[in-house]
Every structure is written in structure tokens, then in C-alpha cells.
Amino acid sequence: MSDKKKLMDKSEMMEGGVAPGGSMSKLNTGSWRSQVPLTDFDECIHCMQCWIFCPDCAITIKDGKKVGTNMQYCKGCGICATECPVDCIHMKPVEDVSQEEFDAEDTSKE
């Protein structure tokens, strides 16, 4: 009898661990939010640091410029505000954000 360990066949492996590609797009991470990032576009220098650091790819870029934040996916973590070199992203509690402020930032319906 061989003392070699029998390797597990792929069909015997348990499912799980790695989700199929694109599955995160179905997860509405915006529902976790307690803070909203509001961008002062007069101060934004479109350096893309927020886009690079956002863990949910929620920063919307058009023609090389930041145009807003996709609130369906923004979970309000504040990393973008921390990384912005000119401090033009201000985190505000959800309950203090007016509909007008929210709509000016939100790109989820575009």
C-alpha cells in the first residue's frame, strides 16, 4: 500500500472562499453608510487619490475628472476624505445631509 497521501479531487472540495467575479456589484454597500462624503468641487484638483483609495470603487470619474460619488456603493468609511490632499471631501452624518447636498454628490442614477 502506498504511503502517499491521496490528493483531494476538485469535485470533493467544498464550495466557498472565493466569490464569482462581479458579485460585489450586487451588494448594496451604500446601505451600511452612517456618514456621507461631500466634495467641494471648487477645491478639488482632480488628482484621483480618492478614486485610488476608495475600497468600493464608488468615486465617479468622467473625462479624467471626479464628478461625484456613487451612493449605491459608498459605505461612508471616510478613507477618501482622509486621503484627499486638499481636504475637499467633508464627511457629514447621514441625518444632517440635505436632499440637495446628497443629490449634488450622488452619481448612482447616471
CB-wise, 19 or 40, nearer to ligand SF4? 40
| Cell numbers that stand for 26 in this block | 450586487
| CA dist 25 → 30, 42, 75, 98, 109 (Å) | 11, 31, 13, 27, 15
Q: Is 77 in the site for ligand SF4 (CB under 6 A)?
A: yes
Name the minimum Å distance from CB 15 to ligand SF4.
Answer: 29
Residues contacting ligand SF4: total by CB under 6 A: 26
Q: Residue 103 CB: number of other CB atoms within 10 A?
A: 12
Q: Binding string to ligand SF4 for residues 44 to 73, with x set by CB under 6 A, is what?
A: xxxxxxx---x-x-xx------x--x----
